[in-house]
Amino acid sequence: MRGTGRTTGSRTRGTRRLRPRGRRARRLGDTAIAAVTVVALASGVWLLGGRSHTPPQPTAAEGRPDPGEERLTAPSLPPSPPLRIRIPAIRVDAPLMGLALTPSGSLDVPPARDKNLAGWYEAGTMPGETGTAVVAGHVDNTEGPAVFYDLGALKRGARIEVDRRDGTVAEFTVDAVEVYAASNFPDQKVYGAARRPELRVITCGGGYSKTTGYQGNVVVFAHLTGSR
């Protein structure tokens, strides 16, 4: 799953700022990731036996957060790298690998050959700590549905669990599920810094073309509501 790498000069500069590792790099990630293009997740061409197909897409009702749910936020956790993501409602149970930015400034993606693998943006927030953590994965590959094929079927209130290296499990509740065209992707809304522990889970979605692939992205918005 490889992107086209189209980007602007400002996005290229943002990539350079995100190269350092450590706490300072992750704080920079929180503020600079809004400049990162999502073209790597939105313009790959994935076919099932040469036939077009349509994974589940969110309805408009799933894009309206429940204000009551949003008030229920658990205290943030200390930083610890994530190891695994589980979304019971859509039968996701997958390991996580670290993702960086491509030389063109796009968010990189996991290898397409592994259908049950997702990645997290390791220069940004770690899931569970204050800020916006980002997880991305394929909707399919040439062999069939992949890890986030059913992401668009997720409903508000669903649970997402992230196993962390320190042995804790960060528990998130889904606030909204939306689909955006690649040409009108709301960078700041999806990637912008947050004052509480939040999570974004992203895959391809929207319209599909045999020649250009998916036309956009499905994005799940969630926030931390517990840990164990």
**Is-contact 134 120, C-beta < 8 A?**
yes
Alpha-carbon span 147 to 131, nearest angstrom? 24
Alpha-carbon span 225 to 169, nearest angstrom? 11
Nearest to 102 by CA among 33, 5, 16: 5
Considering the chain, what is the average pLDDT of its residues?
Answer: 78
Q: Is the pLDDT of residue 55 over 80?
A: yes
Alpha-carbon span 131 to 180, nearest angstrom? 22
Alpha-carbon span 227 to 160, nearest angstrom? 11
Alpha-carbon span 207 to 216, nearest angstrom? 7
Residue 34 DSSP code? G
The β-bridge partners of 94 are: 85
Per-residue HEC secondary structure of 2-19 comes to: CCCCCCCHHHHHHHHHCC
Q: What percent of the chain has pLDDT over 70?
A: 74
* Least trusted range by pLDDT, from 40-44, 111-115, 171-175: 40-44
* Structure-block tokens of residue 23: 């706490």
Sign of CA dihedral 177, 76, 193, 135: negative
Domains contained in the chain, CATH given:
9-227 (2.40.260.10)
Q: Which runs of E-coded beta strand occur in 57-153?
A: 82-87, 92-99, 118-121, 131-137, 140-141, 144-145
Cα angle at 211 between 207 and 217, to 5 degrees?
Answer: 35
Q: Is the pLDDT of residue 200 over 70?
A: yes
Which pLDDT score is estimated for 84?
98
The β-bridge partners of 170 are: 162, 227
Which pLDDT score is estimated for 206?
84
Task: Identify which of 3-7, 189-193, 224-228 has the greatest average pLDDT.
Answer: 224-228
14-46 pLDDT, tens per residue? Answer: 222 222 233 433 443 444 444 444 444 433 344
Reduced to 3 states (helix: H, G, I; strand: E, B; else coil), residue 68 is helix
147-171 pLDDT, tens per residue? Answer: 999 999 999 999 999 999 999 999 9
Confidence band (pLDDT; 50, 70, 90) for 182? confident
Q: Which residue has the higher pLDDT, 22 or 132?
A: 132
